[in-house]
């Protein structure tokens, strides 16, 4: 009896061993183009795994971390949220002169650039301010042209015509296409005040309120250009610790503690995610976007289409517009990542993460491009409908009447 059972077991073993397990559809592509030592995970819209190399191993996600920060913002703030900077007079305005300091009350708008400063200059002129007998005084976190400007020195240089005059021409041509507005006739003049002339300052009175572009524009542009100011901006929603907490809570199917974020823009050395976790992150972001009536292309760059880091990726006509995602590099660590969603006819929305380390960054990028071309060829690229280019960001900002 036992001999018969043993013989039967042996026959089953031989038969099953002679039939190789079916390989994942894109596994050989991943091995050939990316290599055995790197991370790949690809999953179709229906949940079928198409490729998996080292898919649970921890890698540094580099700027793909910004996707987690995007998820955190959309989880805590409405897409139309604006960040306001109020400009106040700490004195009377008489005959074009502000007798007192010009106060900048900031709440951390990271998108206040040269054109925005010139829009405010026009608003101050409308309020009758031509000269300031006083100084600029900043209250709160004030970022100007991506750089902290806690004393308002760079802002003052712009308003006095000593910096970024070309931005004045861009702004005035956009707002007043049929008029010529020389900057020298609009720039502010600051006059020092002798100690004996100083009077008791009045409570600051709002003159102009600058409201940033909506949050959605911040997210799209920060991701498209991989702006590392995203790290400082993340403190609007609690900083990297809160980004990590939200991502761990929102992903499914991966160990939460394997996700480590200590820099919300992906800089530094300690961020960790596996390729499976990166795909789970994109799936969590998709759920959050759908709940708000949004799509990936509202917050992430479209490869070969949107200006920025993906503008020249997959830009050939047959692939252009079929991938939305995020790339990232940490040069000092020789880390390169690319992840997102590929739109295909055969596999539907296809989530992917490709994570390499230890190879030259140009080589890594070429491998990623080759893998993505193979994926799109296998699935049949299905580009997204073309979108109109957005207006310049300063045109989506606005000046508001003080409350």
- Structural domains in the chain, CATH included, are 23-79+216-379 (3.40.710.10), 84-212 (3.50.80.20)
pLDDT at 194: 66
Instruction: Give the span between the Cα atoms of 342 and 349, in whole angstroms.
Output: 6
Torsion 68-235-138-124 (CA) sign: positive
The DSSP output letter for 323 is E
- Report the pLDDT value the prediction gives residue 200, as an integer from 0 to 100: 63
Collapsed DSSP state (helix, strand, coil) of residue 123: helix
d(CA 75, CA 177): 40
| Short-list 364, 307, 326, CA closest to 68 | 326
The 3-class SS string of 180-212 reads: CCCHHHCCCEECCCCHHHCCCCCCCEEEEEEEC
Task: Please write the tens of the pLDDT for every residue from 107-137.
Answer: 999 999 999 999 999 999 999 999 999 999 9
Q: Give the residues of the chain that fall short of pLDDT 70.
A: 1-21, 194-201
Q: What is the pLDDT of residues 237-292, one digit of tens each?
A: 999 999 999 999 999 999 998 999 999 999 988 999 999 999 999 999 999 999 99
What are 190's strand-pairing partners? 132
- For position 181, what pLDDT does the model report? 92
**So what's the pLDDT on residue 202?**
74
Q: What is the pLDDT of residue 322?
A: 98
39 Cβ contact partners less than 8 Å away, ≥ 6 residues apart: 53, 54, 55, 57, 59, 274, 275, 353, 354, 355, 356
| The predicted structure's pLDDT at residue 19 | 36
Global pTM value: 0.90
CA distances from 378 to 140, 275, 344, 382 (A): 53, 21, 9, 12
């Amino acid at each position: 009896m036992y001999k018969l059972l043993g013989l039967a077991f042996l026959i089953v073993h031989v038969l099953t061993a002679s039939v190789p397990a079916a390989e994942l559809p894109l596994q050989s592509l991943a091995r050939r183009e990316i290599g055995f030592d790197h991370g790949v995970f690809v999953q179709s819209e229906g949940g079928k795994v198409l490729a998996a190399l080292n898919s649970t191993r921890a890698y540094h996600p580099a700027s793909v971390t910004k996707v987690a920060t995007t998820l955190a913002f959309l989880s805590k703030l409405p897409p139309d949220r604006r960040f306001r900077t109020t400009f106040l007079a700490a004195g009377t305005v008489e005959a074009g002169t502000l007798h007192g300091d010009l106060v900048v009350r900031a709440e951390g708008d990271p998108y206040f650039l040269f054109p925005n400063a010139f829009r405010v200059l026009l608003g101050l002129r409308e309020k009758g301010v031509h000269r300031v007998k006083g100084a600029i005084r900043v209250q709160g976190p004030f970022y100007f042209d991506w750089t902290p400007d806690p004393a308002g020195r760079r802002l003052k240089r712009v308003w006095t015509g000593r910096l970024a005059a070309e931005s004045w021409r861009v702004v005035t041509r956009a707002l007043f296409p049929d008029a010529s507005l020389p900057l020298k006739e609009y720039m502010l003049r600051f006059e020092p005040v002798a100690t004996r002339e100083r009077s008791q300052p009045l409570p600051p009175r709002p003159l102009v309120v600058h409201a940033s572009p909506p949050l959605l524009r911040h997210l799209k542009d920060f991701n498209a250009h991989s702006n590392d100011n995203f790290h400082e901006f993340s403190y609007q929603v609690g900083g990297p610790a809160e980004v990590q907490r939200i991502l761990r809570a929102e992903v499914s199917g991966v160990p939460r503690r394997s996700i480590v974020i200590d820099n919300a823009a992906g800089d530094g050395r300690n961020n960790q995610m596996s390729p499976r976790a990166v795909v789970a992150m994109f799936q969590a972001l998709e759920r959050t976007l759908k709940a708000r009536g949004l799509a990936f292309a509202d917050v992430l760059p479209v490869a070969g289409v949107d200006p920025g880091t993906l503008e020249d990726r997959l830009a050939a006509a047959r692939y252009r517009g079929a991938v939305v995602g995020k790339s990232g590099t940490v040069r000092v660590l020789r880390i390169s990542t690319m992840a997102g969603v590929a739109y295909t006819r055969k596999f539907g929305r296809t989530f992917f993460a490709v994570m390499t380390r230890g190879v030259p960054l140009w080589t890594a990028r070429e491998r990623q491009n080759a893998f993505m071309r193979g994926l799109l060829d296998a699935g049949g690229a299905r580009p997204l409908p073309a979108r109109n280019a957005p207006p310049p960001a300063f045109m989506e900002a606005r000046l508001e009447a003080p409350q």
